[in-house]
Amino acid sequence: MLLAFALSPLLVVAIGALLLMLAEAFSKVRTGLALGTVVVFFAGLALSASVWLYGLESIPGLEVLAPWLIIDRFSMFMNAVLCLGGGLAALLAGGYLPEHKIERGEFYSLLLFATLGAMMLSASGDFLTLFIGLETMSIGAYAMTAFRRTSARSAEGALKYFLLGSFAAAIMLYGFALLYGATGHTDLAGVGAGVKSGEHAPMVLIAMVLVLAGLVFKVSAVPFHMWTPDAYEGAPTPATTFMAVAVKSGAFAMLLRVMLTCFGDARSMSWSSGWPPVLAWIAVLTMTVANLIAGRQESVKRMLAYSSIAHAGYLLVGVVATMKNPAQGSASVLFYLLTYTVSTAGAFGALILCGRFGAEAVSYEDLAGIGRRHPAAALPFSLFLISLAGFPPTAGFFGKWFVFRAAMEGGFTWLTIIAFLNSVLGAYYYLRVLVFMYMREPAAGAPIATPMRSGYVNFALILSAFLVVVLGVSPSLSLDVAVKAAAAFGGGAG
Amino acid sequence: MITTNSYVLLSAILFTIGGIGFLVRRNVIVTLMSIEVMLNAVNLALVAFNRSMPKAHTGQLFAFFLIAAEAAEVAVGLAIVISIFRLRRSVRTDEADLLKN
């Protein structure tokens, strides 16, 4: 019974997805699906919190699930972040899909199943469950990207995402197969022990490169980022939110678990012969390239896509910091994921709010003058952009602060300086939105944007604005939670 | 004499062929087939490695799961290809160029 309680966040999302799918298929009523989805997500969030408070130490029999599912504080934290991200995306979908006349019930089941995949991904301790979770998440995301059937842009974004996503999955799977051949295990801990023993070193090295390439693709870091802007721009905005928030969080959870468990031995984690320098250079490239290209965009949605690539770069800095101190580095990544989730979901939500049917707000020009005409829509947008840029007193500031501090204390001063310079560079294009909203007027003859009205979107914005401010004013509680969650990796090589 | 190594070598060759096919060909259907070749190379490697570790059937089991998941993935992929063909009357990846900066 207690075991079911420990699994309840996963179970409630899985059962909720099945029930909503049946309800959509057999009932004539179309309203309430969005509400049901939101309720399921927030039930998952509440259950993760209660399992956390109950204490996983006092639940016997969790080792029965290992290595398939590892239910620890790390996966419980990720469950909460993913349910929050999924819940915000569901709220946005509840407003966006009816407004743009594309509401069909499948979207909500896809959203729930994809989140379930991401939750499974962050809890899996075996390549098999990891792969199933990854596919569940990705297939749902592909389908959601292609959701607007009449739009060639939506289909094209989905096609690029699907082709490159399957290619990356195949590369990663070949890495898994080689690791299985080299160590005889498919569970992460067993592979880690085999890698540590140093047998079959050349094969392990090739496998590490393949797995790393697949993982870096999934977190959409440069040079494997080409699909991201296209998929994000083509997808309906709630699906974009989901990809930017939940898919990225799930991928980072997978990255941390695989790298620290399979390749957590002293040799693989050293600067001279391991993965940290590779990830450090990828982080530098990701931040710089994404920030430079983001500044040249004319579409705000595409700018936010490049911004999410840049944030993957900052997160990779935190992953590199695990080299010296696994617990501190992963804690900073987890906390950053939380702040990034609320800021990004809020920014996409505000973008949704600024448009309506037939006149979706996409470009900077669409937003011109909206700050004076509709301050209630522009104000939360400004807050989320300031948080993404990393100014105090918002969540984004502390997210960056803890990642940079982990990198500094790990001895990566040069990397921290590059990351800091990049976040200054990033402020340019976030503030450019504010300039357009408050200091420009729409060009003569251009259509004047009016915000849509939706209780769902308003609620999503209020919720994420509340969290952005709370995390920005008193981050200590949630940071404490992130530190406890990351303690699972405290026993790394160091 | 066919050893485990021969199978692994064959799977590496298949994987490379699939990878090159994916990068070079411009027809979506051929690209999908290239991905299938890569995934089947993974299956072959898993089953071949399992031959030298006969105590458990982990590799073979993994291959079964992979086949099932591949089928689901291709179903979604072909649906996307059909929807893009309806809208654009083309299945060539180099003609999918609506989204650019």
The residue type at A349: G
Q: Quote ipTM for the complex.
A: 0.96
CA distance B2 to chain A (A): 17
Determine, for residues B28 and A160 on separate chains, whether the beta-carbon distance falls below 8 Å.
Answer: no
Residue A128 has its nearest CB partner, among B65, B76, B79, at B65
**Inter-chain contact A150–B41, Cβ cutoff 8 Å?**
no
pLDDT at A491 over 70: no
Tokens describing residue A11: 């179970």
Strand partners, A356: A359
Contact with chain A for residue B60, Cβ under 8 A: no
- Are B99 and A230 a contacting pair, CB within 8 Å? yes
Out of A363-372, A376-385, A442-451, A457-466, least confident range:
A442-451
CA of A113: how far to CAs of A25, A163, A480, in Å? 16, 21, 30
Among candidates B8, B38, B84 on the partner chain, residue whose Cβ is nearest the Cβ of A155: B84
Which residues from chain A sit within 8 angstroms of residue B57, using beta carbons? none
The pLDDT score that the predictor gives to residue A74 is 94
pLDDT for residue A45: 97
Mutate to test the interface with A, among B5, B17, B62 (most CBs of A within 10 A): B62
What distance in Å separates residue B3's CA from the closest CA in chain A? 14
CB within 8 Å: A150 and B81: no
For chain A, the average pLDDT equals 93
User: To 5 degrees, how large is the angle CA A140–CA A73–CA A180?
Assistant: 65
Q: What is the mean pLDDT of residues A165-180?
A: 96
3-state class percentages of chain B: helix first, strand second, coil last, to nearest 5: 80, 0, 20
Q: Could you read off the pLDDT of A415-437 as tens digits, one per residue?
A: 999 999 999 999 999 999 999 99
Using alpha carbons only, what angle is made at residue A366 by residues A362 and A372, rounded to the nearest 5 degrees?
130
pLDDT at B84 over 80: yes
Integer Cα distance of A136 and A139 in angstroms? 6
How much is the average pLDDT of B77-96? Answer: 88
Question: In the prediction, which pLDDT does A442 show?
Answer: 83
pLDDT above 90 for A448: no
Whether B83 and chain A come into contact, CB under 8 Å, resolves to yes
How far is CA A116 from each of CA A420, B57, B84, rounded to the nearest angstrom?
Answer: 35, 27, 28
Report the C-alpha gap between A486 and A81 in whole angstroms: 14
The answer for residues whose C-beta is within 8 angstroms of residue A10's C-beta and 6 or more apart is: A69, A79, A116, A119, A120, A123
Residue of B nearest to A228 (CA): B99
The pLDDT-based confidence of A494 (bands split at 50, 70, 90) is very low
**Cβ B32 vs Cβ B74: under 8 Å:** yes
| Interface contact flag, A131 B46, Cβ < 8 Å | no
Nearest Cα of chain A lies from the Cα of B87 at a distance, in angstroms, of 6
Place of tokens 């909500």: A108
Residue A54 confidence (pLDDT): 93
pLDDT, tens digit, 9 for 90 and up, residues A182-201: 999 999 999 999 999 988 88
Of B22, B28, B42, the CB nearest to A174: B42
Q: Which two tokens stand for residue A180?
A: 């299985």
Q: Cβ of A229 and B98 within 8 Å?
A: no
Q: Does domain B4-100 have CATH number 3.40.190.10?
A: no
Could you write out the DSSP letters of every residue in A179-205?
Answer: HHHHHS--BHHHHHHHHHHTTTHHHHH
Residue A434 lies in a domain: yes
Q: Which two tokens stand for residue A222?
A: 């440069």
CB contact under 8 A, A159 and B81: yes
Q: Is B58 on the interface with A (CB under 8 A)?
A: yes
Q: Which chain B positions have a beta carbon within 8 Å of A228's beta carbon?
A: none
Name the residue ranges covered by the structural domains of chain B: 4-100
Find out whether A381 and A354 touch, Cβ atoms under 8 Å. Answer: yes
Q: Which of A139, A158, A233 lies closest to B73 in CB terms?
A: A139
DSSP type of residue A441: -
Rounded to whole angstroms, the Cα distance separating A375 from B98 reads: 34
CA Rg, chain B, in Å? 17
Specify the 3-state DSSP secondary structure of A254: helix
Half-sphere exposure of A238 (CA within 13 A, CB side): 31
What residue in B sits closest to A135 (Cα-Cα)?
Answer: B69
Q: What is the pLDDT of residue A462?
A: 96
Q: What is the pLDDT of residue B101?
A: 56
Q: Which of A151, A167, A177 sits opposite B35 (nearest CB)?
A: A167
Please give the pLDDT value at position A250.
96
Q: Which residues pair with B27 in a beta bridge?
A: B92
What CA–CA distance (Å, rounded) separates B99 from B101? 7
Q: Which of B53, B61, B80 sits opposite A158 (nearest CB)?
A: B80
Q: How many domains does chain A have?
A: 1
Model confidence at A492: pLDDT above 80: no
Q: Is the pLDDT of residue A278 over 80?
A: yes
Looking at residue A35, what is its pLDDT?
Answer: 94
Question: How far apart are the C-alpha atoms of A435 and A99, rounded to whole Å?
Answer: 28
Site from B15, B25, B36, B42 to mutate, A interface, most A CB atoms within 10 angstroms: B42
Q: Nearest residue on chain A to B59, judged by CA atoms?
A: A180
Tokens at A114, concatenated: 């994809």
Domain membership of residue A408 as a residue range: 275-494
Q: A124-138, A288-302, A365-379, A398-412 — which is least confidently predicted?
A: A365-379
B7 touches chain A (CB under 8 A): no
> How far is A313 from A326, CA to CA, in rounded Å?
18
Is the Cβ of B17 closer than 8 Å to some Cβ of chain A?
no
Q: Report the distance separating Cα A24 and Cα A281, nearest Å.
A: 47
In this predicted structure, the answer to whether residue A385 has a pLDDT above a threshold of 60 is yes
Distance CA A327, CA B73 (A): 36
Distance from CA of A297 to the nearest CA of B (A): 7
pLDDT tens profile A205-234:
999 999 999 999 999 998 899 999 999 999
Using CB atoms, which residue from A156, A163, A171 is nearest to B99? A156
Q: What span, in angstroms and rounded, lies between the C-alpha atoms of B96 and A161?
A: 12
* A62-83 mean pLDDT: 92
Six-digit token string for A154: 């939506």
Q: In whole angstroms, how far apart are CA A427 and each of A294, A375, A394, A448, A452? A: 11, 22, 14, 27, 28
Q: pLDDT tens digits, residue range A456-486?
A: 999 999 999 999 999 999 999 999 999 999 9
Name the residue of chain A whose CA is nearest to B88's CA: A152
Name chain A contacts of B11, Cβ cutoff 8 Å.
177
Give me A461's structure tokens.
């914005």
Give the pLDDT band of residue B1 (cuts 50, 70, 90).
Answer: confident
In the structure, what pLDDT confidence band is assigned to residue A493 with cuts at 50, 70 and 90? very low
A208-228 burial code (b ≥16 CB/10 A, e <16): bebbbbbbbbbbbbbebbebb
Q: Which of B8, B72, B96 has its CB closest to that of A135? A: B72
A392 three-class SS: coil
* Beta bridge partner(s), residue B92: B27
Measured between CA atoms, how close is A153 to chain B, in angstroms? 6
**Whether the predicted pLDDT of A90 surpasses 60:** yes
Encoding tokens for residue A330?
């992963």
Compute the half-sphere exposure of residue A381: CA atoms within 13 Å on the CB side of its CA. 31
Residue type, A358: G
Q: Is the pLDDT of residue B96 over 80?
A: no
